[in-house]
């Protein structure tokens, strides 16, 4: 999974996947796991945890979720972008949010708010997403990525679709 993080960072910073694959080939690093990283890397990841979460969901056998999907709360007009989204066969919307703890600790990320204010904002965001049509919000942290079986069970319990073989 760290390779996924590096690949996403390189793509986000303007390196083409062709350049990265050529370098990996020259260095003899183009094995099966590396090919998976190249196939699923995301240039739009907003932090280091998102590519790891994406890789974990792939390793668990889930269909590729749509990344960075935006919703508008019909009540407030606020826009919220979710990390990952699946639409199930029966029309339900399942969202996965990767929660890093830095937003609760780093004064720059807290933007002058208290811890309570940050938590209240997250609660309001979840309620806005529900009003916008999201059925299920699954919050995961880095610790969850170390227990793939547990993660798979949590996501399967929401109806998140598995990849077709």
Helices (H), 15-136: 17-26, 32-40, 49-59, 107-110, 115-131
pLDDT the model gives residue 54? 87
CB 92 within 8 A of CB 42: no
pLDDT the model gives residue 78? 97
pLDDT per residue of the chain (165 residues) written in tens, 0 to 9: 566 667 777 777 777 777 877 777 787 776 766 666 666 666 666 666 787 888 889 889 999 999 889 999 999 999 999 999 999 999 999 999 998 766 666 666 667 778 787 778 889 999 999 999 999 999 999 899 999 999 999 999 999 999 886
Is pTM beyond 0.85? Reply is no
Starting from the edge strand earliest in sequence, which strands make up the sheet with 93-98, in order?
Answer: 66-72, 79-87, 93-98, 136-140
């Amino acid at each position: 999974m760290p390779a996924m993080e590096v690949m996403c960072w390189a793509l986000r910073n303007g390196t083409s996947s062709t350049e990265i694959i050529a370098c990996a080939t020259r260095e003899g690093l183009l094995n099966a796991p590396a090919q998976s990283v190249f196939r699923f890397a995301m240039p739009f990841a907003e932090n280091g945890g998102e590519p790891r979460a994406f890789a974990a969901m792939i390793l668990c056998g889930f269909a590729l979720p749509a990344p960075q999907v935006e919703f508008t709360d019909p009540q407030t007009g606020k826009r919220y972008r979710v990390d990952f989204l699946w639409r199930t066969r029966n029309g339900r919307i399942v969202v996965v949010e990767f929660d890093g703890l830095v937003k609760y600790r780093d004064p720059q990320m807290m933007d002058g708010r208290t811890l309570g204010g940050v938590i209240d904002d997250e609660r309001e965001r979840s309620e806005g997403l529900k009003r916008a049509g999201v059925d299920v919000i699954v919050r995961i942290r880095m610790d969850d990525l170390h227990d793939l079986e547990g993660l798979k069970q949590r996501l399967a319990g929401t109806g998140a679709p598995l990849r077709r073989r």
